[in-house]
A and B are shown apart, each in its own frame.
Chain A
Amino acid sequence: MFRYIGQRLLAAIPVLIGILFITFAMARLLPGDPCRAMLGEKATDQICDAFNERYGLNEPIPVQFGIYMRDVLHGDLGESYRYGKPVTDILIERLPMTIELSLAALAFAVLVGLPLGVISAVKRNSAVDVGTMLIANTGVSMPVFWLGLMLAYIFGLLLKDTPFWLPPSGRNSSGMILPSLIETWNLNLTSGPAYSVLMFLSNLHLFNSFVTGNWPVFVDTARHLILPAVALGTIPLALIARMTRSSLLEVLSQDYIRTARAKGLRERVVVLRHGFRNALIPVITIIGLSLGALLGGAVLTETIFSLSGVGRILFDAIQARDYAIVQGITLIIAATYVMINLFVDVTYAFLDPRVRLG
């Protein structure tokens, strides 16, 4: 098992270097001059020379790549021209929002999609099955941004003055203040790794308000998260439900399932213990693949619901030619994606001995 994990980790290294190279090249290929994009009309040649000097933009391209590689390995993702602060600080601020959103969307997709898939497989061709597959087929065909806007309209406007009203934008209601963990716990920290980690955790609003017992903020954050998570989670939900159904149907037609039934096991045990576990592998693949789609969909969802996560800031940074942010965020997202795929492969090996021994 460990050998297998080691092999997979080694295989990920060239891909990660490829990603580094692409993010670097991409940022350099962006048309336009960052200095002029940033400073606009005010930029004179003299100012731009100083600007390029400061951000290392006047070095030859290979040297810039070398410097970039070295810095990344030291955990330094460069400095944003636009915000005038390190990209890691921006990530600490913005990444938690996107993580919270993606995890909430994934939780929604898995918690609803898996049971739906199992029920439709067990009750094949019933009304529940037909209904589920109808939802699944339309679900995968819906544009995320359309679903998001329609949800915002229905729950934010039509259902106003009913208990079903949900906030259609933003991360928290105005007036809801959530102090960082450092403030709440009166810690004397202003920098360093511990500070960064605590700030990162503080910006996970659900986590922060949960551990500090700040229930009004917790409920408020959760309510704001529902619509974006549903919008973002619907496509994965549909994919998971479809895959669970077809995979479980295939497994349930196997001989060992007949054996299990023949020896008098209850149907529940047959389906859940003998069937479901073996049907899980393709489902896990789909869950892993959906996470990539979630990260892409986050740009759209964050735009619609006015959330300032990394998806939105990446989009803005591309427009503003803020190289460092573009590189940093794409790198983090691509690396996360590679790690997720790695994790998925390891999960296979855990579930199915044939994978790790074969």
Chain B
Amino acid sequence: MEYFLIFVSAIFVNNILLAQFLGICPFLGVSSKLSTATGMSGAVCFVITLATVVTYLLNRYLLVPFGLEFLQTISFILVIAALVQMVEIVLKKISPSLYQALGIFLPLITTNCAVLGVAITVVTKEFAFSGTAPHMLNLGQATVYAIATSLGYGLAMCLFAGLREHLAGNDVPKAFKGLPIALITVGIMAMAFLGFSGIV
């Protein structure tokens, strides 16, 4: 049951983009077309899940037992950078077309705050769902959280890309064209997602 609560909460209530403000840069940059948005979300989902599992294990079995928590930032970002490199190499071999489609966005996932943000959140924050006492996540819960978070990321991105495609065909005042009207649209989306708070 708790897995379900983690899942719903990460996608809707605490949406990584609209509530936690992580992963905004690629969100604003990549979302002009629905097709690139879905491709990017898929890549990010994969990296976030893999990175969360690896950094969780690193933290649990190496950093905490030796009292090295202050090395979290450095070790996590290096793990993420290495993972992204590996994903690039593997993707180039097994699916060159997807690799071409993602282009520059793949290496940029390293600097996506969402990846490092989720990795750190999962090992430092206590979670509580109605009925349970606040507690740190175990590996299974952390993995579900990572998957759900990236699904929430994908959801917000695809919704936004759809809206942007519509906006492009509309009559936007000159000063608002491009980024400003996009931001205002996201603001209204964030307001809509606020309605989910308190359901878990």
Task: Please determine whether chains A and B interact with each other in the same assembly.
Answer: no
Interface residue ranges, A against B (CB under 8 Å) = none
